[in-house]
Amino acid sequence: MAEADLDAIIRQLSKQQTRALTAAVKKRRAGWLARAAKAKDAAGKAQAKAVAAAAYEQGQAAVRRLQMAADNAADSYARAVRKAAEDAAAKAAADAAAGKAAAEKAESKKKPAKAPAATSGKKKNAARTKKAKGPKA
């Protein structure tokens, strides 16, 4: 269950609670209807039936609210997890791009600068001959 999504667990628990609450609502209504059946006068029967109907209505409203709240919580959690996964993927992509750029920058620093261009042979020869002839008087 460690790999199960929490939103699925929220929905599953909500379904169990909904069933239990619905059963309790029906049991309460059945109790009021039993009182209505035992009532001796018409006013007592009508009052017990009205209470049974109101109790059932309120119970079903509570069931709907519980179900809606659980669905909202599960949806919210699923959205948050999906967004966190997208953010992590985007951060990983940005880190990879930054790492690549840093590696390229480091690579360019490792390359030595170009050496100055060598002098042509004529200039070298001219410099040698000047040295060999000596200074002009």
Between 133 and 90, residue with greater pLDDT: 90
**Is position 126 within any domain?**
no
The number of distinct structural domains making up the chain is 1
**Is position 63 within any domain?**
yes
**Is position 137 within any domain?**
no
**Is position 74 within any domain?**
yes
Report the distance separating Cα 4 and Cα 1, nearest Å: 5
Q: At what angle do helices 42-110 and 6-38 cross, to 10 degrees?
A: 180
CA angle at 57 for the pair 52 and 62, rounded to the nearest 5°: 125
**Is position 121 within any domain?**
no
Q: How confident is the model at residue 110 (pLDDT cuts 50, 70, 90)?
A: low
What is the token pair recorded at 135? 């200074």
Task: Kindly state the helix (H) or strand (E) to which residue 35 belongs, with its residue range.
Answer: helix 6-38
What is the per-residue pLDDT for 23? 97
**Is position 93 within any domain?**
yes
**Range in 17-21, 89-93, 100-104 with the lowest mean pLDDT:** 100-104
What are the backbone dihedrals phi and psi of residue 27, each rounded to the nearest 5 degrees, phi first? -65, -40
Q: How confident is the model at residue 1 (pLDDT cuts 50, 70, 90)?
A: very low
**Is position 119 within any domain?**
no
Query: Does the global pTM surpass 0.85?
Result: no
Structural domain boundaries, residue 52: 6-111
**Is position 91 within any domain?**
yes
